[in-house]
Amino acid sequence: MSEKRLDGRVALVTGASRGLGFAAAKALAAEGAQIIATARTTGGLEQLDDEIREAGGQCTLVPLDLMDPEGIEKLAEIVANRWGRLDILVCNAGVLGQITPAHQITAKTWNEVLGVNTIAPARFIRAFEPLLRKSDAGRAIFVTSGVGSQRAKIYWAAYGASKAALDNLVQSWAKELADSDMRANLLDPGPTRTRMRAKAAPGEDPETLPHPDEVAPLFVELALPGETRNGEIVRFGR
């Protein structure tokens, strides 16, 4: 058998129960990575586990609510005790919030959208940088959106603000990593055939959009030990 490009590497994927996270986890596993899959939806995680194992891969499931005040840090302890390092971090989990005028966005929505889309990735950086530094080539990938720093969109204030903040967070962190073996990048998949997209654009024909499986190879590319990009927003199909 030919050696796979991610053989022996440990990859953590958030929001892995469906959509982009599900597809990314399968693609990384197909290249030999040991997957640690997190999400709130256990049914989707179990399906992911079945598909990865049927294909000969390895997967560990960790149900996790990113709003849990200690959950991310406890997960870092689990990974440290079992594997001693992390090679690949994929922060994919996200929430849309409300598509509504800015003055109508509730405090509850702001707390959830910023908590999941911005603060949780910041907590992952804090909790997992030491484990990524123990890898010979730690790679971190954060899913962003063009609605963030690239262009503001009417009624998308909460989601757009959370992603603009994420872009700044990751690019700032990447500058701190410049002299290390680590790399951190953002991945903008563009409009994709996911449940979140269907909620945001209910009148859109999903068949006109790329399937998450089409985007998944880009996660693999950014996870490779030989990847040199750092602090970039890598846009699918562009």
> 94 with 72: CB under 8 angstroms?
no
* Longest distance between any two alpha carbons in the chain, whole Å: 58
Q: State the Cα–Cα distance between residues 224 and 222, nearest whole angstrom.
A: 6
Which of 22, 142, 159, 173 is catalytic? The answer is: 159
Question: Does residue 159 have an active-site annotation?
Answer: yes
- Cα–Cα distances in Å, from 110 out to 69, 83, 98, 143? 17, 35, 9, 19
- Cα–Cα distances in Å, from 205 out to 44, 131, 191, 216? 24, 42, 11, 21
> 140 with 182: CB under 8 angstroms?
yes
What are the backbone dihedrals phi and psi of residue 187, each rounded to the nearest 5 degrees, phi first? -120, 120
Q: State the Cα–Cα distance between residues 179 and 6, nearest whole angstrom.
A: 23
- Would you name the residues annotated as active-site residues? 159
